[in-house]
Amino acid sequence: MAPSATVATTALAADLVRQGRDVIPMSAGEPDFDTPDHIKQAGIRAIQDGQTKYTAPASGLIELKEAIARKLDRENGLHYDPSQIVITCGAKQVIFAAIVALVDPGDEVLLPAPLYVSYADQVKLMGGVPVIIPTEPDAFCLSPDQFRSALTPRSKLIIFNSPSNPTGGIYSRAQFQALAELIAEAGLFTITDEIYEHFIYGDEEHVSLAALHPGVADRCLTVNGFSKTFAMTGWRVGYGAGPEEWMSHIAKVQSQETTNTCTLSQHAAIAALEGPQDSVGTMRAAFKLRRNAIADGLNELDRVTCPRPKGAFYVFPNVSGLFGNTIADDVEFCRYLLEAAGVAAVPGTGFSAPGYVRFSYTLPDDRLSDAIDRIQTAVTAIQGS
Ligand code: GLU
């Protein structure tokens, strides 16, 4: 099992900053915005009210589960009883618990690539076999033919992430509908990681796969969380909703693993869902401008291609045109960028997409334009080498 490429790069950048180096961190996928004040106040009130114990059940506060059930109904067309929801330490933990509960040694898990860094390693940890399915650049969405070719009698689970980290790719309703028919027919389990649902910059709609087909919903875990939408990465609250049997096993795994996620954070999360939502639109508007700025800045460079991602808050340029005598691959490119430009980015290899690099553009505008200048200067220096 490899360490998380995003977490490792973020730690390296933080370490260099502590040593006094001027490093611009474009490695971590976390909003630079502060958690909205009404959410913080709810956390503070929870401390003052003595809400400092375990939650019972460990799978989460009933009031938060009810608020999540209302959200899924209102925004996603998904109808779950609160008993079908488990609240975890971020979205990552519910995905992990779901894999622990489901995947047996030798089971194949279909992973459209580029993929979020943790999926394949979580599968490997359980003895499962990650089946990486490369998708076509620009759209980065799995086609029905690719799905059919990857399917074997050992296929058990498929994981989707739309909008995608790292590509920003988004599945349309028609694309998901076509895949839903095939998934239901094959009887596969599905995890849909929807953590970036509110970061879509054009006319595309966010579609929850489980809402499209009862045969998928019966075996689908819908995953979401508070880290990105409400700038709450450090609070560690994510959740999953799905069929009762799978959820009961996920709850069992969590009860043996972390008990519950932080009680105070769960109180803050209720305020996030039930309180004013304007901060989400403010972040989205800012990220859209930043996406345009960095994608345009990268596209000015010869031999770098960077289509504007549709969602999430990353750009994912193909930099393989720069490889030659000086730089051999994306891992070396990121090392060079850190050394020469003081910019931390994550190599595409961590996302099963060698030749690419992920830049997170969750930076204040002045830092972002500094970063774009630095990247342009460093890339220009190696062009022609
Ligand atoms: N999901 C974020 C990222 O991709 C946070 C780091 C992580 O947990 O992987 O950067």
At 11-29, the pLDDT tens digits run 888 888 899 999 999 999 9
For residue 116, give the ligand 1 atom closest to its CA: 4
Token reading at 358: 């992920």
CATH 3.90.1150.10, applies to 5-30+279-384: yes
Which residue has the least CA distance to atom 9 on ligand 1?
6
DSSP-H helix ranges across the chain: 5-18, 37-48, 62-76, 90-102, 117-125, 144-150, 173-186, 214-217, 244-257, 263-274, 278-299, 330-336, 365-382
Tens-digit pLDDT profile for residues 361-371: 999 999 999 99
When pLDDT is averaged across residues 199-213 and rounded to a whole number, the result is: 98
Which residue has the least CA distance to atom 3 on ligand 1?
29
Q: What is the distance in A from the centroid of ligand 1 to the CA of 213? A: 30
Q: How many CB atoms lie within 10 A of CB 264?
A: 18
- Residue 219: closest CA among 85, 141, 102: 102
Q: What is the distance in A from the centroid of ligand 1 to the CA of 7? A: 6
Tens-digit pLDDT profile for residues 286-344: 999 999 999 999 999 999 999 999 999 999 999 999 999 899 999 999 999 999 999 99
Burial 139-169 (b: 16+ CB within 10 A, else e): bbbbbeebbeebbeeebbbbbbbbbbbbbbb
Q: How many CB atoms lie within 10 A of CB 360?
A: 26
At CA 294, angle to CA 174 and CA 163, rounded to 5?
A: 25
Q: Is 161 in the pocket of ligand 1 (CB under 6 A)?
A: no
Q: What is the distance in A from the centroid of ligand 1 to the CA of 217? A: 26
Q: Is 11 in the pocket of ligand 1 (CB under 6 A)?
A: no
- Residue 62: closest CA among 45, 42, 87, 38: 87
20: phi then psi, degrees, rounded to nearest 5: 95, 5
Q: Is 7 in the pocket of ligand 1 (CB under 6 A)?
A: yes
Tens-digit pLDDT profile for residues 30-86: 999 999 999 999 999 999 999 999 999 999 999 999 999 999 999 999 999 999 999
What is the distance between the alpha carbons of residues 6 and 164, in angstroms, rounded to a whole number? 15
What is the distance between the alpha carbons of residues 274 and 186, in angstroms, rounded to a whole number? 38
Q: Is 117 in the pocket of ligand 1 (CB under 6 A)?
A: yes
What is the distance between the alpha carbons of residues 154 and 123, in angstroms, rounded to a whole number? 14
What is the distance between the alpha carbons of residues 364 and 379, in angstroms, rounded to a whole number? 22
C-alpha count within 13 angstroms, C-beta hemisphere, residue 51: 19
Residue 138's pLDDT is: 84
Residue 362's pLDDT is: 97
Which residue has the least CA distance to atom 8 on ligand 1?
7
Burial 172-206 (b: 16+ CB within 10 A, else e): eeebbebbbebbbeeebbbbbbbbbbbbbbeebeb
Domain spans of the chain, in order of start = 5-30+279-384, 37-274
Angle at which helix 244-257 crosses helix 90-102, to 10 degrees, equals 110
Beta strand 343-344 pairing with 24-25 = parallel
Give, for ligand 1, the residue of 93, 117, 194 to mutate: max count of ligand atoms closer than 8 Å to Cβ.
117
384 pLDDT above the threshold of 70: no
Q: Which residue has the higher pLDDT, 63 or 7?
A: 63
Is residue 121 within 8 Å of 351, Cβ to Cβ? no
Residues written for the chain: 385
pTM for the structure as a whole = 0.96
Residue 108's pLDDT is: 98
Q: What pLDDT band is residue 262 in, cutting at 50, 70 and 90?
A: very high
For residue 233, give the ligand 1 atom closest to its CA: 5
Q: What pLDDT band is residue 8 in, cutting at 50, 70 and 90?
A: confident
Q: Is 14 in the pocket of ligand 1 (CB under 6 A)?
A: no
Q: What pLDDT band is residue 385 in, cutting at 50, 70 and 90?
A: low
Q: Is 165 in the pocket of ligand 1 (CB under 6 A)?
A: yes
In sequence order, the β-bridge partners of residue 110 are 131, 158
Which residue has the least CA distance to atom 5 on ligand 1?
29
Q: Is 358 in the pocket of ligand 1 (CB under 6 A)?
A: no
Which residue has the least CA distance to atom 10 on ligand 1?
29
DSSP label at residue 347: E
Question: In the CATH scheme, what architecture does the domain 37-274 have?
Answer: 3-Layer(aba) Sandwich (3.40)
Burial 40-74 (b: 16+ CB within 10 A, else e): eebbeebeeeeeeeebebbbbbeebbebbbebbee
- Give percent above pLDDT 70 in the chain: 99
- Give percent above pLDDT 90 in the chain: 94
Token reading at 189: 């389990």
Which residue has the least CA distance to atom 2 on ligand 1?
29
Q: What is the distance in A from the centroid of ligand 1 to the CA of 6? A: 6
Q: How many CB atoms lie within 10 A of CB 236?
A: 20
Q: Is 13 in the pocket of ligand 1 (CB under 6 A)?
A: no
What is the distance between the alpha carbons of residues 182 and 230, in angstroms, rounded to a whole number? 34
Burial class (CB in 10 A: 0-12, 13-18, 19+), 91: buried
Residue 9's pLDDT is: 86
Domains 5-30+279-384 and 37-274 share a fold: no
259 pLDDT above the threshold of 70: yes
